[in-house]
Amino acid sequence: MEDNTVEKIAYQVDDFISLMVTKHRLDPLTLGSVMMARLMLANQYFGSGDEFRQLMINIPEVKPRVDEAVH
């Protein structure tokens, strides 16, 4: 997968998150919880559940740069 493909996907996910938060009047934490649960189920179904859970355990705390914004 090319870097520009990953970037395009990231922007599409940003747009989807913004749309869902606005359309359903959800706070980002609630939407994130629903999305995380669905991602866990998808990874479990496709056989990568253990790796996905390990990935989630190892998420470092990252402070966004001042000039960084969700697109």
Nearest-5° Cα angle at 26, 64 to 28: 15
Distance separating alpha carbons of residues 65 and 19, to the nearest angstrom: 23
Domain boundaries defined on the chain:
3-57
Whether residue 2 has pLDDT greater than 80: no
For residue range 3-55, what is the model confidence (pLDDT) as tens digits? 789 999 999 999 999 999 999 999 989 999 999 999 999 999 999 999 999 99
* Predicted model pTM: 0.71
Separation CA 19–CA 60 (nearest Å): 27
With beta carbons less than 8 A apart as the criterion, state whether 57 and 51 touch.
no
